[in-house]
């Protein structure tokens, strides 16, 4: 049970003039029974995808909602163990400058299921349908920074001078490597990997954010 979460939801409701779970449910779309369980701290810590509508409605990060007393600014003690590693959730436009983004220490996190303790990874939200059916629009991908890509992997890559990374399939043909689009369009063609292209990471998993 996360009593910090329950306390924070109550604090946010009071500070915004929301008088009941019924009203909050109507505003953010979270089912009323679910809100009652959270407010009573009568449940295991919910999945981040289920908390996302609350965080977005009140304009707070999931990390603060779960781990910081919003009325005092105090952080709760970290749990001794966790079933899932937490990785930074990085906006796609900040991926090329990820180290600078993380220096702010003001970022959300996302749980990674298949992640070793020595692996360096981050999460990115996929908002486009151009990568379907492999990656559904609205899903969150986990990108491992220190994994070497192999044939068939999905990777994030950056061309020198570009400001936005490419999400592509990595393909090997003899001694050459290519970045293949998920679908052929006028704007998304095959790109040859050369000295002007840097692989930023390999996608290890995808998590679809679903409604309740």
Question: What stretch(es) of the chain map to CATH 1.10.260.40?
Answer: 3-67
- Residues pairing with 158 in the sheet: 198
The per-residue pLDDT for 211 is 46
Q: Where are the alpha helices (DSSP H) in the chain?
A: 3-15, 21-28, 32-39, 48-58, 62-67, 98-102
**What does CATH list as the number for 3-67?**
1.10.260.40
Residue 88 · residue 63 · CB < 8 Å: no
The per-residue pLDDT for 108 is 86
- 3-state secondary structure at position 9: helix
Sign of the torsion formed by the C-alpha atoms of 91, 92, 98 and 100: negative
Give the confidence band of 116 by pLDDT, cuts at 50, 70, 90.
Answer: low
Q: What is the mean pLDDT of the chain?
A: 85
Q: Which residues does 82 contact at the CB level (< 8 Å), separation at least 6?
A: none
Give the confidence band of 51 by pLDDT, cuts at 50, 70, 90.
Answer: confident
> Please, what CATH class does the domain formed by 85-208 belong to?
mainly beta
For the chain, the 3-state helix, strand and coil shares in percent, each to the nearest 5, are 25, 25, 45
Cα distance between residue 137 and residue 29, in whole Å: 20
Cα distance between residue 200 and residue 163, in whole Å: 13
Mean pLDDT of all residues in 13-33 = 92
Question: What stretch(es) of the chain map to CATH 2.10.109.10?
Answer: 85-208
**Residue with tokens 């007393």, as numbered in its chain:** 69
In tens, the pLDDT along 196-212 reads 999 999 999 998 865 43
In tens, the pLDDT along 84-102 reads 678 899 999 999 898 888 8
In tens, the pLDDT along 123-144 reads 999 988 888 888 888 899 999 9
| pTM of the complete model beyond 0.75 | no
Q: Measured over all CA atoms, what is the biggest interatomic distance in the chain, rounded to whole angstroms? A: 65
The per-residue pLDDT for 187 is 66
């Amino acid at each position: 049970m996360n009593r910090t979460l329950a306390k924070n939801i109550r604090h946010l409701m009071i500070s915004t003039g929301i008088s009941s779970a019924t009203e909050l449910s109507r505003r953010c779309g979270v089912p009323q029974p679910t809100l009652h369980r959270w407010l009573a701290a009568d449940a295991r810590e919910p999945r981040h995808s289920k908390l996302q509508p609350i965080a977005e409605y009140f304009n707070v990060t999931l990390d603060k909602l779960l781990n910081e007393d919003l009325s005092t600014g105090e952080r709760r003690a970290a749990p001794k163990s966790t079933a899932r590693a937490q990785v930074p959730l990085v906006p796609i436009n900040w991926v090329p400058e990820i180290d600078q983004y993380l220096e702010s220490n003001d970022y959300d996190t996302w749980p990674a299921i298949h992640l070793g303790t020595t692996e360096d990874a981050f999460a990115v939200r996929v908002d486009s349908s151009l990568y379907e059916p492999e990656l559904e629009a609205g899903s969150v991908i986990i990108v491992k920074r220190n994994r070497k890509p192999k044939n068939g992997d999905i990777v994030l890559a950056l061309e020198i001078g570009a400001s936005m990374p490419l999400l592509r399939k990595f393909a090997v043909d003899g001694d050459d490597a290519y970045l293949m689009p998920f679908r052929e369009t006028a704007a998304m063609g095959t790109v040859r990997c050369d000295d002007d292209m840097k692989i930023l990471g390999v996608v290890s998993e995808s998590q679809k954010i679903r409604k309740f």
